[in-house]
Structure 1
Amino acid sequence: MGGLMTVVPLVDEGLGNSSYLVDLDDGRALVVDASLDLRAVGAAAERRELTVAFAADTHLHADFLSGARRLAAMQGAEVLASEAGRRTFGHRGLRDGDEVDLGGLRLRALGTPGHTHEHLSFVLLDGERPLGVFTGGSLIVGAAARTDLVSPDRTESLARAQYASLQRLLELPDDVAVWPTHGAGSFCSAPPGADRLSTIGRERATNPLLQVDGEDEFVAALLGSLGSFPPYFLRLAELNRRGPLPDRAPALEPLAVDKVRTMLGEGAEWIDVRPTRDFAAGHVPGALSIPFRAAFASWLGWLVPDERPLIVVRGTDQDADEIAWQAAKIGYRFAGEVAIAAWDGQLTRTRLVGAEQVGGAVLDVRQDSEYDAGHVPGAQHIELGALPDRADEVRREPTIVMCGHGERAMSAASVLERAGHRDLAVLIGGADDWAAATGRRLAT
């Protein structure tokens, strides 16, 4: 039977995660770590004429809403998840060593706490032969997922648990496939550019965290690699424990300008998802720029409070359904949209500059690791995610805002404009472009 089984990775490039559809070769499928946005799962299952019979979650996800309960409601899938997660909806609670008969293949739960306290990995077995292991946020390609998402006082103890969990996974044979959930682009600590799939043997030989000399060195290395993460990570695990089940598909409903004015006066947020150059050419004063691209959901959740009504401005060539679904994956629903051409009030413009024009005050809003790798000498540094709370630290003088390409810099400029800053410009490009244009070296 094992040779007929097929595992189909379904990659979310924006959030940096993978879910998996396993064709069980009998018209049924197992899905692991599905997002609330089930369009890719549905398309893959439809192509293979499969019904999803099982929906397994490796842990209470902090970076996206789970689609497991929705699969149960739509297709009658049995939800498989850790008993220790105390989910409040119907599921089969599993403990370490429990097995589920998939109809020829078996799925064995392996307790691998660390990324979260209730984390399970799932070993896919053909008879007694392990074919692969869904490692979730335990062993990932070239790293292990972060352990600081449950609570600050548990970060180190969970890091020690993560070490023990990785050692346990290394007991599997070298040829066993590793199917992790978190991958490149995830704020759950996958290294940039890493492959998304691996094997136990490859990770044993090449994963830096598996080359350390014992538990203490592992903990120091893991904790030393932790960067910042979006604040919505702190609330999604609880939503997943309760089982998100939307009453309808997300959508962008058109709003009249008068209605929008009233909503803005009552505290609504205006989110402009148009490309950087379009926003620069003219935007509603106070609008927050979050250009729609792969990382859109992460920055939406980082910069925008979830309790306020959100109004969208998009370009005519930007897909309304895609924008709505990207937001829904992290628990955001938009109140509606209005076309920029319909707005009859004042518009604000933001100046764009090239690398050869950089001079005077510079604000770099990249992540710490990016800034440390090389930056314009003398540039002030505040991560974009921290900027809404630290806007008063930015110099009140002509300032050029920069990131790696321009999108985050425009978001930062819009944050600063809302805080009263003027005479801002955004660099189209990044630090390497500045070095190439000036012939000068970056500071480190």
Structure 2
Amino acid sequence: MVTVLPVETPGLGDRTYLVHDGSVALVVDPQRDHDRVTALAEAAGVRITHVFETHIHNDYVTGGLALARETGAAYLVNADDEVAYERTPIRDGDVVEVGAMRVRAIHTPGHTHTHLSYALQADGGQVAVFTGGSLLYGTTGRPDLLGPEHTDTLVRAQWRSAHRLAAELPDEAAVWPTHGFGSFCSATQATGASSTIGQEKKTNAALTADEGAYVERLLAGLDAFPAYYAHMGPANAAGPTAPDLSPPSVADPAELRRRIEAGEWVVDLRDRTAFAAGHLPGSLNFGLDGQFVTQLGWLIPWGTPLTLLGETAEQVAEAQRELVRIGIDRPAAMATGGPGDWSGGEPPASFGRAAFADLKAALDAGDGGPVVLDVRRDRERARAHVPGSVHIPLHDLPGRLDEVPEGRVWVHCAGGYRASIAASLLHARGRDVVAVDDGFDRARDLGLAAPAPETADDRQETSA
């Protein structure tokens, strides 16, 4: 009996898989912090002998090479991928035996040119396929991450790859993708936590629409993706080492102030309520309770020294673990406690929090009204927005702070998380801000925003 054990990485919207027959195991698409996988294998009493990569990833730094070296496993990467390390090359049609299991490589270009899916044969049949960034739940991986010059070729290849999988695998075969659980590698919002080839034939746009309709629908649904993606492919081709998760050095208040004044990023990991109530002046808020690593990796100028502030050492360790997954390996420093411990006697900074009802009251009061800053992405704003609001997507805000009009700024997003990040960026620049910590549906209910027509296959929009 074969067992498939998913290893979730919700901060990035990805999955790794440990698959075993009770004795030996294979791993598909391991994350950088591969100790989670080895711990799972140890608990199951199995030995990892093979590590498979579906593609050179664009949204995280792989742990595959380090895991293979640590365990002595074969590291299987497409023979056509240009990498700087020794690997076991694998090509379309190759079959690898892993204990009682047989794994067949299937070339499924679309997310990348060299993408492979892996069909798993065990227990007398083809029981599953690991689809990486090819066939996802209800959608497919996005085809535009390698640049616009490749997008048209890849999107059409993605449609053909989906049809190849549907044709070559039985309806009962389980579909196990790497992306699609909130990952920006997903072309549109994936649906569900599990699926089969048969279910995808009924529900996946790549399998229910003709090629032209699929291409048009998918390309229309694409939105921005995180800036740090540009660094992931080169890091994975170079061969990432195992991460260092040891604690950084502890910074005292004088060092924290020096780092802030030098233009470094000092990031407060507490939730947005605590941050608004009181924080170290000049620090920025990326709470661990939201899309921490995606948003921080998207906004920080790559290579900027980063200091982490947490209530506990455990919070800092959690943040470190998330950061190594995108190649931010060693924080410059850390500090724990609260604003009183970090400020050296300096009064804490704070700013206001509000709901959309408060914003409506401020707008109804007249006198020109407050500045309203919408930091949602383009597709979110296209569906509905507050009339007269200024729109600067959060990922553009660090470079466009000077475009925010003078006066008190009320910042909103879809749920409050991104608004707090934006408010902290503005407040660190000396601006008077109010963070709207409320769901945007409430703005609709209050008549602050009129809904626009929905578009097909809108990208995932978090409640952040």
TM-score normalised over the length of structure 1? 0.93
Would you say 1:442 and 2:450 are equivalent positions? yes
Residue 109 of structure 1, CA deviation: 0.8
1-structure distance, mates of 2:448, 2:278: 34
Q: Deviations over 1:275-311 (max 9, x none)?
A: 1122112223332211112411101110112312111
The equivalent residue for 1:212 is 209
Matched position secondary structure for 1:291:
coil
Cα distance between partner residues in 1 of 2:243 and 2:390? 46
5 Å matches for 1:6-405? 6-26=3-23, 28-126=24-122, 129-171=125-167, 172-189=169-186, 191-192=188-189, 194-214=191-211, 216-246=212-242, 248-316=244-312, 319-332=315-328, 333-339=330-336, 340=339, 341-344=341-344, 345-358=346-359, 359=363, 360=369, 361-405=371-415
Q: Which residue of 2 aligns with 1:424?
A: 433
Task: Note if contact 2:144-2:151 (Cα within 8 Å) is conserved in structure 1.
Answer: yes
8 Å Cα contact 2:260/2:282 also seen in 1 = no
- Partners of 1:117 and 1:276 in 2: how far apart? 41
For each residue in 1:179-223, what CA deviation from the matched residue of structure 2 results, as whole angstroms up to 9, or x when unmatched? 100022111126446113211111111112322223x33222221
Cα distance in structure 2, aligned partners of 1:381 and 1:275: 24
Post-superposition offset of 1:346: 4.7
Give the secondary structure class of the aligned counterpart of 1:239: helix
Whole-angstrom CA distance in 1 between matches of 2:428 and 2:323: 22
Report if aligned partners of 2:250, 2:335 keep a CA contact under 8 Å in 1. yes
1:38, CA displacement in angstroms? 2.0
The Cα shift of 1:128 comes to 7.5
- Measured after TM superposition, the shift of residue 105 of structure 1 is 1.5
Flag structure 1 segments of 5+ consecutive residues without an equivalent: none
- Encode CA deviations 1:307-332: one digit per residue, 9 max, x unaligned: 12111111238522211101111111
Pairwise CA distance, 1:231: 0.8
Question: In structure 1, how many angstroms separate the alpha carbons of the residues matched to 2:40 and 2:16?
Answer: 11
**Cα distance in 1, alignment partners of residues 447 and 401 from structure 2:** 31
Q: 1:417 aligns to what SS in structure 2?
A: helix
Q: Which amino acid aligns with 1:60?
A: I
Cα deviation digits, residues 30-49 of structure 1 (max 9, x gap)? 11011011243133212211
Do 1:14 and 1:296's aligned partners in 2 also have CA atoms closer than 8 Å? yes
CA distance, structure 2, for counterparts of residue 106 and residue 317 of structure 1: 44
Against the structure 1 CA distance between its residues 184 and 191, is the aligned structure 2 distance closer, same or farther, given a 3 Å change threshold? farther
Deviations 1:227-248 (A, max 9, x none): 1011111111110111211363
**For residues 110-134 of structure 1, what are the alpha-carbon distances to aligned partners after superposition, in whole Å with 9 as ceiling and x for unaligned?**
1111101111111112387321110
* C-alpha deviation, 1:381, in angstroms: 2.3
Describe the superposition over 1:60-112 as per-residue Cα deviations: whole angstroms up to 9, x where unpaired: 11111111112122211211111111222221111111111112221111111
For the Cα contact (< 8 Å) 2:138–2:191, is it kept in 1?
yes
Judge conservation of contact 1:250–1:325 (CA < 8 Å) in 2: no
For residue 17 of structure 1, what is the amino acid of its counterpart? D
1:395 is displaced (CA, Å) by 1.9
For the Cα contact (< 8 Å) 2:394–2:418, is it kept in 1?
A: yes
Q: Given residue 387 of structure 1, which amino acid in structure 2 is its aligned partner? A: L
TM normalised by structure 2 equals 0.89
Contact 1:106 1:125 in 2 (8 A): yes
Q: CA deviation at 1:376?
A: 3.0
Range moving further from structure 2, 334-343 or 140-149: 334-343
Alpha-carbon distance between aligned partners in 2 of 1:73 and 1:426, rounded to the nearest angstrom: 47
Deviation at 1:250, TM superposition (A): 4.5
1:366 counterpart letter in structure 2? R
Q: Secondary structure at the match of 1:425?
A: strand
> How many aligned positions are there?
437
SS in structure 1 at match of 2:6: strand
CA offset at residue 25 of structure 1? 2.2
Q: 1:184/1:370 Cα in 2 relative to 1: closer, same or farther (>3 Å)?
A: farther
Shift in CA distance, 324/440, structure 1 to aligned 2, threshold 3 Å? closer
CA distance in 2, matches of 1:86, 1:271: 36
1:319-362 per-position Cα deviation (integer Å, ceiling 9, x unaligned): 22211101111111211112432322353211111222103332
State whether residues 22 and 44 of structure 2, in contact with CA within 8 Å, keep that contact through their aligned partners in structure 1.
Answer: no
Counterpart residue type for residue 430 of structure 1 = G
Secondary structure at the aligned position of 2:381 is classed as helix
Output the amino acid matched with 1:132: A
TM-fit CA distance, 1:267: 3.8
Whether the 8 Å contact between 1:70 and 1:244 is mirrored in structure 2 is: yes
Q: Which amino acid aligns with 1:336?
A: A
Q: Could you tell me which amino acid in structure 1 is paired with residue 127 of structure 2?
A: L
2:423 maps to amino acid: A
Cα deviation for residue 156 of structure 1 reads 1.2
Confirm or deny: 8 A CA contact 2:443 2:449 kept in the other structure: no
Q: Distance in 2 between matches of 1:111 and 1:343?
A: 56
Within 1, Cα distance between the matches of 2:128 and 2:19? 11
User: d(CA) in 1 for partners of 2:38 and 2:358?
Assistant: 49
- The answer on whether the counterparts of 1:185 and 1:192 sit within 8 Å (CA) in structure 2 is yes
Contact 2:374 2:391 in 1 (8 A): yes
